[in-house]
Amino acid sequence: KTIDSLGDLRGKRVIVRADLNVPLDGTTITDDGRIRAAVPTLKRLLDAGAKVVVISHLGRPKGAPQEKYSLKPVVSRLGELLGTEVAFATDTVGDSARSTVEGLEEGGIALLENLRFNPGETAKDEAERRVFAQAIADMGDAYVSDGFGVVHRKQASVYELATLLPSAAGELVLKEVESLRKVTDEPARPFVVVLGGAKVADKLAVIDNLLGKADRILIGGGMAYTFQKAKGYEIGQSLLDEEKIDTVREYMERAEKQGVELILPVDNVVAAEFSADAEPTVVGADGIPADQEGMDIGPKTAELFASKIEDAATVFWNGPMGVFEFEKFAEGTKAVARAMSEAEGFTVVGGGDSASAVRNLGFDESVFSHISTGGGASLELIEGKELPGIAILEEGTK
């Protein structure tokens, strides 16, 4: 169901579950992508004269208030982007929240404090989640689910709350699901998947699901060294997930049998220490010195990956190719972003670090078909899993 299905919203209290879980350095927002992504739905509701109540989590505070996880730093940026003042409640369902919501006028907006300061939000026990969701529902007349980054979590504000009020998917959720399903359901070919990031374990289910679907899978970043090790290469001090070597080897064999090109780095940029000032050296992928660790894909790999991306009709990318936060080791990630930005096909950047990388490395967002705001959520969609926060909205439609 879309926002239209909620009817006339003038004067109605509309609770919007957003994902404003942005990276912070102290109280400074280092990437406001998720706040900007929340704007279209919020603007639309404000224009419709609703009283908008925004709820979100930030980090993983484990059920109790903690200053460093406060949503307070988000308020002013949200207000700037919306061009209106945003009221802030210092709790989620307590006196501050209730009186803030009561004080809202038509076309007014408030942000409530971090949902995860309340144990009910993430409780394993469904009844406990339901009690918390009911307390939120009591402050609203309708619910809009727009926190795409969190739709893979069966949590009170994502799942139970949708059953307690007339509910609809927001603009961001609709756009995300449409873009990601374009990748998973009958993608235009060649379909190229680029995977990186530190943890190989996080990406195994994606590879498993895509082995029958993708034409090429390019692997870089910290996760690639487990593949290089499985090939029998020396990886020095590089990241390794020893327990996954056999799985990775099996995937490489399956890829070969199924005619999927599984492409690994042919060279790496290595350094003696994990630091921004470390001296970079380029070595072949089969010979990382014992005292060095892999920090990025090498220039030959960057060129190879770019050539595999250029002619793709669909590209999905998740995970940086190296330690892009350090300038000397950002070239591989830049090369993939550049190749994607130049590709004519449908290009999707999966959220989390790769989305931040694209923005922080200065790429214009509009050169990609879609930049997802979801890290885990976009991966789980690509894995072919059912996401609770989406399923519950679709169930309501049936």
Task: List residues near ligand 3PG by CB under 6 A.
Answer: 19, 21, 60, 149-150, 153, 375-376
Q: Which residue is nearest to ligand 3PG (CB)?
A: 21
Considering the candidates 154, 199, 254, 300, report the single residue annotated as catalytic: 199
Relative to beta strand 216-219, strand 261-263 is parallel
Nearer of residues 376 and 384 to ligand 3PG, judged by Cβ: 376
72 is catalytic: no
287 labelled ligand-binding: no
250 labelled ligand-binding: no
Query: Minimum distance from CB of 69 to ligand 3PG (Å)?
Result: 11
Compute the distance between CA of residue 63 and CA of residue 206 in angstroms, rounded to an integer. 31
Compute the distance between CA of residue 126 and CA of residue 154 in angstroms, rounded to an integer. 9
152 labelled ligand-binding: no
Instruction: Mention every residue, 6+ apart, whose C-beta is less than 8 A from residue 259.
Output: none
Nearer of residues 53 and 158 to ligand 3PG, judged by Cβ: 158
232 labelled ligand-binding: no
Nearer of residues 49 and 63 to ligand 3PG, judged by Cβ: 63
91 labelled ligand-binding: no
E strand map for the chain? 13-17, 24-25, 28-29, 51-55, 86-89, 109-112, 142-145, 167-169, 191-195, 216-219, 261-263, 267-271, 281-284, 293-297, 314-318, 346-349, 370-371
203 labelled ligand-binding: yes
Nearer of residues 20 and 309 to ligand 3PG, judged by Cβ: 20
Considering the candidates 352, 374, 375, 389, report the single residue annotated as catalytic: 352
Considering the candidates 12, 13, 34, 51, report the single residue annotated as catalytic: 34
32 labelled ligand-binding: no
Burial of 315 (0-12, 13-18, 19+ CB in 10 A): buried
Considering the candidates 11, 107, 376, 396, report the single residue annotated as catalytic: 376
Query: Minimum distance from CB of 339 to ligand 3PG (Å)?
Result: 25
352 is catalytic: yes
Relative to beta strand 28-29, strand 24-25 is antiparallel
259 is catalytic: no
Query: Minimum distance from CB of 56 to ligand 3PG (Å)?
Result: 9
Nearer of residues 331 and 353 to ligand 3PG, judged by Cβ: 353
List the structure tokens of 169: 């998917």
Query: Minimum distance from CB of 153 to ligand 3PG (Å)?
Result: 5
Cβ distance 4 to 48 under 8 Å?
A: no
Q: At residue 272, what is the residue type?
A: A
- Closest by Cα among 31, 120, 28 to 354: 31
List the structure tokens of 90: 């210092």
Tell me if the bond preceding 190 is cis, omega within 30° of 0.
yes
Query: Minimum distance from CB of 23 to ligand 3PG (Å)?
Result: 9
26 is catalytic: no
Just list the catalytic residues.
Answer: 34, 199, 352, 376
Annotated binding-site residue numbers:
19-21, 34, 57-60, 116, 153, 203, 294, 325, 351-354
Binding residues for substrate: 19-21, 34, 57-60, 116, 153
